[in-house]
Amino acid sequence: MVKRARLPGALLIDQKQPITFTFEGKTYQGYAGDTIASALAGAGQWVLSRSFKYHRPRGILTMAGQDSNTLVQLLGMPNVLADKTLITDGLQVEAQNYTGSLMNDKEAEISKVARFLPVGFYYRAFFRPKGIRNRIWEPIIRAKAGLGKVDTRHRGGYYDKAYGHYDVVVAGGGLAGMSAAISAAQHGASVLLVDENPILGGAMNYARADIKGKRLRARCAQLRQTIAESANITVMTDTVCNAWYVDHWLAVIKGCRLHKVRAKQFILAAGSLEQPAIFHNNDLPGVMMGSAAQRLMNLYGILPGKNAVVLTGNDDGYGVALELREAGAQVQIIEMRDLALAQATLHDGCVAAGLRIHYGSAIYAAKADRNMHHINGVEFGKIAGKGTIAKEHQQISCDLICMSVGYTPTYQLALQAGGKLGYDDDTAIFSIENLPKGFHLAGSLNGVFATDDVQADGQRAAAQALDGLEITHSLAADFLPVMVQVNHPWPIFEHPDDKNFVDFDEDLMVKDIRNAVKEGYNELELVKRFSTVGMGPSQGRHAALNAARLVAEATDRQVRDVGVTTARPPFSRETLGVMGGRVFSPERLTPMHHRHAELGGHAMRVGAWWRPGHYGVGVDRVAEINSEVRNVRENVGLIDVSTLGGLEILGADAAQFLNRVYTFAYLKQPIGRARYLLMTNEAGTVIDDGVACRMAEDRFYITATSSGVDRVCRQMLWLNAQWHMDINIINVTAAYGGMNLAGPNARKVLQKLVSDEVDISAEGFPYMGLREFQVAGIPAIVFRVGFVGELGYEIHVPATAAEYVWDQVLAVGQEFGIQPFGLETQRVLRLEKGHFIVGQDTDAMSTAEEINMTWAITQKKPFFIGKRSIELRNRALSKRKKVGFRLPSGITSMPQESNLVLKNNKMTGFISSVWLSPTLNAVIGFAYCAREDAQIGNHITIKCDDGTLHQAEIISPHFYDPDNARQKL
Amino acid sequence: MKVMHCPLNGPRNIAEFITFGEVNKMPVPDTVDDRAWAEFVFFANNTAGVVREWWCHTPTNYWFIADRHTVSDEILATYTIAELFPEPFNTGESDG
Amino acid sequence: MPAPINPNDFPHRSPIYRIHQGLGANFTALDDQRAVVADYGDAGVEKAAVAQLALADLTLLARGGFKGKGCSEFVQQAGTYFPGFNNTALLMSKGGLIARLSNAEVMTVAPHIKAEADISALRDVWQARRDAGDQHIAYLAPRDLTHGCFSLSGEHAATMMAKICAVDLRDHVFGNLDVAQTLAACTSMVVIRCDIGKTLRLLLLFDIAQTEYFWGIIIDAMGEFSGKPVGTNAVI
């Protein structure tokens, strides 16, 4: 381990807190505040990864998390940005994407056959001979694909989300952002200021605007202080504003928390992304952005090289050179512009410092030794024309090349919001137009670069935000910034051996982009898809501009015509944990929920509800269900039906309303009676059913299916919003606990729970009757329906007392053999009785006619939902009909629901319900079959899962007690 | 995430709402011909422009109407049902 | 020392009485029908928690509702004011709340035991008029049964709610006696702010079948602020 002294004044590290970690099994020491990349750089380890395709050594490029050269693997977490992730004691870091070792990757040999792997080669390779792709190539490619490894057992941290509301959100805490935040807050706006770095300041923390380099730091400290003292500004550092959505809804991610922030006004001051120059070997460790070198020096106290070459096309490169020189490096400058253009403050500072400047020149190639672990020299010459260097080259040795050739705005959020990125080819200046109302730009993102101008631009953005908030102010609405040319229009240079990279993530070289165009992909979007340029982890941050320039040149157009790119959320990586947060999956429990668990119930999810399917130790589900079926038929059973939807329909027009919404007749329904409800939709398809209990002239208590009731309620409110009838609808589904007491002994049980005055005799409380009386001392609504085909009472009591009543019924019923029964049992009982279930025995096309329910349609009503369509469909009957069928109990292959009904080997229907009935000792079920076959006594062909064909006999669907004698006891 | 201005509850995230689609006039079922009835049930106008739609605030089941531009997805105005339809309509009877 | 009250001895129970038992709750009988959590064992700690962040289960306390034509007239004629705006509430004489949910619907809530008299008084007036044949006095909505009810109090209440609810409930935005009908944790919730003295307090009302769902979510969300469950004694 090499321990090197850090430069003084490093902003982010605390040298009093050393931290030890490992990389590739080797121990390193850094300091609190170091990232993995800076700690390794501080120890002289510059190789961090191997490139995607050619396995070339890669290292720090942007030092800002805006490239993927620095992706490393942590325990349980692949593809972590080493230049953003802090080291912690004991952290184990591994490199990715190599075979053998990072420094000696056996797969680097692939570079030698690069000419056989042209852009898009995989679209034409791996296909012959036939079958070879799946057998041979796919496993190889899968093993090679991707960078890091996912550990599927890894359990991350505690993730959650939180909403936030602010008048103004400022994304980017550099000079423009801080200035905007302060101005807005001073006028009373609530402000959220977000920055992805550990401290505010942005480029002010590492860049140089004056020769001595002090100005920015001082101003930055002052602004930070003002912000800290401002009560209206909430600061979130180490936080990314990762997406903009309509009406300024922002995904703001800090650690494991997703802040869902609603802003009234949004200011994007996210700065710029420095762009690379393209020359041979521009991707190797030791070649980095000028700003990367400045970050290393100022934030982490690391001198990136002793012998530096700065390639510059703007004034910022001179700031880099001065920084390097002050830190103790030898520096030479390769200036792409001629002397005349290069005049500016920092340039003069370099001249005064005696630094060697080569004007009008560019780098032809970076040099490195065989293993390419680090550059060791540079070859350069005079620029002879666009993209061409004159034949006479100079060579000097160096261990650092800094590129300072231009920037793109950090445009992503602006483009997510619908902004259009424009580019002027002559001036190489960007613009962003077409932003939505309330979305403001500030700073270098807005094309403003001079320091004072940037601060003023922040204030101007705040002024516009305050205007949007209708807060009065006296800030300047507009000003004219100084034009600063920061982009060199063509920093792209040919080399006979290529390896001049446009996209570092995807290992795409200049020739690859040109070849894609030659293949016919002559639009940027096509080049993108064919070559994958811009599709890597950094999503074109350092590739989009140069790719657009090359495509424009190859198609004889300007970049402004070709376009640069668009952007969609997210701006940067998001983990699934952050997306998931606390998983809110609403659950509804009946009042008897815990009793079911205590009684051995097997819980089933039915929509948002939990219901017991059946009770028992779980050894033989079918036997346990059948045992419950028998007990209901022979003694008495109790089932929790609380989930059944319940609506109160109240008002003078209540009966008329039901008449219009349902197919049956309700106007003359007597008080104290229950009546079946059938609902069809506008197309005449059956969509819900239930029971209507008439409690009073103007009061109905109706039930609906558990999964349909919320939709039915909403639909009824929608209908009445149009019909203006005198009714009210109250959803009381959860307000009442419901239980169905069913079986020949049901009356005996109920008798013990009601007072003597209550007449529950067969005459006093007949089938389909409805009564209100106390059960176990609790006021109850009780009605008799025949869903399971036995004497039964459906008892509805207030939810808070339902568990109590349930207990009383079970206690009192012991002597009559009572047992609880579950949903699956109920399904068997009702099937034996011939009752259909909406959604199981009906589908999106089922009419009442198909399922033998025309008795529930009162066609002579003037209007009901579905009437017209039913009439129409009655004139053109469908090809199918639902029938009951039977098979002998001894068959070895049991048919299942959804098994097909076949005729001449063509599908004519399917099974919707089926069971080997313990009551009838036969396989019974419902099926849809061809209408012409649907006669009792015919046979239909059923095909089981295993291919077995059965001939099932069509019988009456009223399998059990067809005279309904038992339920009318 | 869009903001919808509910006439009852004020500005809320659009996640609190569902839509039932375009506000349409139901032809009188008893007199309309089969073809026109089928088109009413199954066809949608699919207008590229401002459409008047049914919207429901799901936590309250409060129904209202919104004008929305289907191309820009901008919600231009919201109304209570009473202010647009003070009388019964779509009742399925000749005057409704 | 009187025998401890067992919620199982009463017919009406909170859906989460088992959770309360698990936390060591001391129950107190409201009448022969209901027993509620008095405290979880340390009255002093609970009183202090109320001002920081505290959760209490008020599901068994009285609630009511009136919905439909004639609602506002009935309320006014019964001697209570009908709140002037939708989504606002008023306090009745004994501390009961009447919250206006729409032009034709109110919900009445007793945030503490003494206030139950307001709830039952209004319901008795309605019943008397109904028995006398009055038609246009709206209809009863059984809000004591359709909804569960929690009290969430303290200086961190609004910040905690921001973890599950998109409506801004901070003091300067959501005032005392404001009402919000919205979603929380992906399902419907009514929030009524009803401060306890100077302490911000939110009443949370939701589908009674989701009482256990919400209790778990709020306990989890409260952890960040060291929030605590408290009994009804603490939130009087």
d(CA A162, CA A55): 42
Considering CB atoms only, which of B3, B58, B81 is closest to A247? B3
Residues of A in contact with B30 (CB under 8 A): 868
d(CA C199, CA A495): 73
Domains of chain A: 1-148 (3.10.20.440), 160-273+409-469 (3.50.50.60), 276-405 (3.50.50.60), 493-576 (1.10.10.1100)
Show Cβ contacts of residue A623 under 8 Å, excluding neighbours closer than 6 positions: none
Tokens of A849: 């006619």
Residues comprising chain B, all counted: 96
Is some CB atom of chain B closer than 8 A to the CB atom of C189?
yes
Q: Which of residues 21-50 of B touch C (CB under 8 A)?
A: none
Show Cβ contacts of residue C144 under 8 Å, excluding neighbours closer than 6 positions: A800, C62, C63, C64
Q: Which helix (H) or strand (E) holds A364?
A: strand A361-368
Average pLDDT, chain A: 94
- Give domain limits for chain B: 3-84
| Predicted confidence (pLDDT) per residue in A275-305, tens digit | 999 999 999 999 999 999 999 999 999 999 9
| Predicted confidence (pLDDT) per residue in A154-180, tens digit | 877 899 999 999 999 999 999 999 999
Tokens of A106: 């056996």
Alpha helices in A470-558 (DSSP H): 510-518, 524-531, 544-554
Place of tokens 């949007």: A468
Residues of C in contact with A160 (CB under 8 A): 163, 221
| Predicted confidence (pLDDT) per residue in A378-401, tens digit | 999 999 999 999 999 999 999 999
Are A632 and A825 within 8 A, CB to CB?
yes
Distance from CA of C11 to the nearest CA of B (A): 30
Residues of C in contact with A735 (CB under 8 A): 142, 145-146, 208
Tokens of A105: 């990757």
Are A776 and A808 within 8 A, CB to CB?
yes
Considering CB atoms only, which of C144, C170, C186 is closest to A586? C186
Beta-bridge partner residues of A288: A402
| 3-class DSSP state of A814 | helix
Residues belonging to chain C with any Cβ–Cβ distance to chain A shorter than 8 Å: 10-15, 18, 33-34, 59-60, 67-69, 135, 138-139, 141-142, 144-146, 162-166, 168, 170, 173, 185-187, 207-213, 217, 220-221
What is the model's pLDDT at position A483?
A: 83
DSSP for A596-615, please give it.
HHHTTEEEEEETTEEEEEEE
Considering CB atoms only, which of C15, C59, C68 is closest to A650? C68
Strand A728-731, strand A645-650: pairing = antiparallel
Q: Does B3-84 carry CATH code 3.40.50.20?
A: no
Chains A and B form CB pairs within 8 A to the count of 59
The residue ranges of chain A whose pLDDT is under 70 are 1-3, 111, 343
Is some CB atom of chain B closer than 8 A to the CB atom of C71?
no
Is some CB atom of chain A closer than 8 A to the CB atom of B42?
yes
Considering CB atoms only, which of A260, A586, A731 is closest to C213? A586
Q: Which of residues 77-106 of C touch B (CB under 8 A)?
A: 86-87, 101-102
The residue ranges of chain B whose pLDDT is under 50 are 96
Is some CB atom of chain C closer than 8 A to the CB atom of A650?
yes
Is some CB atom of chain A closer than 8 A to the CB atom of B21?
no
Residues of C in contact with B8 (CB under 8 A): 86-87, 102, 181
C88 → chain B, closest CA residue: B9
A251 → chain B, closest CA residue: B1
* Position C1 confidence tier, pLDDT thresholds 50, 70, 90: low
A247 → chain B, closest CA residue: B2
**Residue A215 neighbours by CB distance under 10 Å:** 14
Which of C88, C168, C183 is the best substitution to test chain B (most B C-beta atoms within 10 A)?
Answer: C183
Q: Per residue, what are the HEC states of A669-695? A: CCCCEEEEEEEECCCCCEEEEEEEEEE
What is the model's pLDDT at position A1?
A: 46
Residues of B in contact with A437 (CB under 8 A): none
Distance from CA of A779 to the nearest CA of B (A): 29
How confident is the model over C53-78, as a mean pLDDT? 96
Tell me the ipTM for this assembly.
0.98
| Predicted confidence (pLDDT) per residue in A468-520, tens digit | 999 999 998 788 888 888 999 999 999 999 999 999 999 999 999 999 999 99
| pLDDT for residue C77 is more than 80 | yes
Interchain contact, B61 vs A717, CB within 8 Å: yes
What is the model's pLDDT at position C101?
A: 98
Residues of B in contact with A260 (CB under 8 A): 1
Distance from CA of A249 to the nearest CA of B (A): 6
Chains B and C form CB pairs within 8 A to the count of 33
Residues of A in contact with C133 (CB under 8 A): none
Is some CB atom of chain C closer than 8 A to the CB atom of B58?
yes
Distance from CA of B34 to the nearest CA of A (A): 7
Distance from CA of C87 to the nearest CA of A (A): 19
Is some CB atom of chain C closer than 8 A to the CB atom of A781?
no
Distance from CA of A19 to the nearest CA of C (A): 29
Q: Which helix (H) or strand (E) holds C219?
A: helix C211-222
Is some CB atom of chain C closer than 8 A to the CB atom of A190?
no
d(CA A772, CA A762): 16
Is some CB atom of chain C closer than 8 A to the CB atom of A162?
yes
Show Cβ contacts of residue B27 under 8 Å, excluding neighbours closer than 6 positions: B36, B37, B40
Interchain contact, B37 vs A683, CB within 8 Å: no
How confident is the model over C162-186, as a mean pLDDT? 98
Is some CB atom of chain A closer than 8 A to the CB atom of B5?
no
Residues of A in contact with B63 (CB under 8 A): 717-718, 721
A30 closest CA partner among A10, A48, A14: A14
Which of B91, B93, B94, B95 is the best substitution to test chain A (most A C-beta atoms within 10 A)?
Answer: B91
Interchain contact, A586 vs C68, CB within 8 Å: no
Beta-bridge partner residues of A441: A268
Considering CB atoms only, which of B13, B15, B59 is closest to C181? B59
Is some CB atom of chain A closer than 8 A to the CB atom of B39?
no
Tokens of A452: 């004072």
Interchain contact, A862 vs B88, CB within 8 Å: no
Which of B41, B75, B89 is the best substitution to test chain A (most A C-beta atoms within 10 A)?
Answer: B41
Chains A and C form CB pairs within 8 A to the count of 111
Stated pTM of the model: 0.94
Interchain contact, B12 vs C101, CB within 8 Å: no
B90 → chain A, closest CA residue: A722
**Subunits that touch chain C (at least 3 Cβ pairs < 8 angstroms)?**
A, B
